[in-house]
Structure 1
Amino acid sequence: MTILARLRETALLMVGVPSYTAYRQHMADRHPDHAPMDEKTFFRDRQQARYGGKGGGRCC
């Protein structure tokens, strides 16, 4: 990962936007039988869980 990519990811985490790369790695490691969300769906899902979801949150 380049320094700019790391800085971008750090800045996004600081404002509450989770890492899509980390999500993809989690899915590959822990849920290989499930297809991961695409990036746009992932972003919407995380926003809903953070700001307006019922229950929402983590899978495990």
Structure 2
Amino acid sequence: MRSADDEMKKPPKSDGGKETGRPDRNVGEALRQAYDEAVSEAVPDDLLDLLKKLD
């Protein structure tokens, strides 16, 4: 006899490395996009003031 807990313990079935429900995306491309977005963000003025106080 099998319980619901037994079903939860099974590893997910492999589908060739693709995640279901998500579009195929190159990991490197996604990381570059995240990096570019982070670099383009402005540094808040209060953080800049704090850094100036450390000098």
Instruction: Flag whether TM exceeds 0.5 (same fold).
Output: no
Give 1 or 2: higher helix fraction: 1
- Highest Rg: 1 or 2? 2
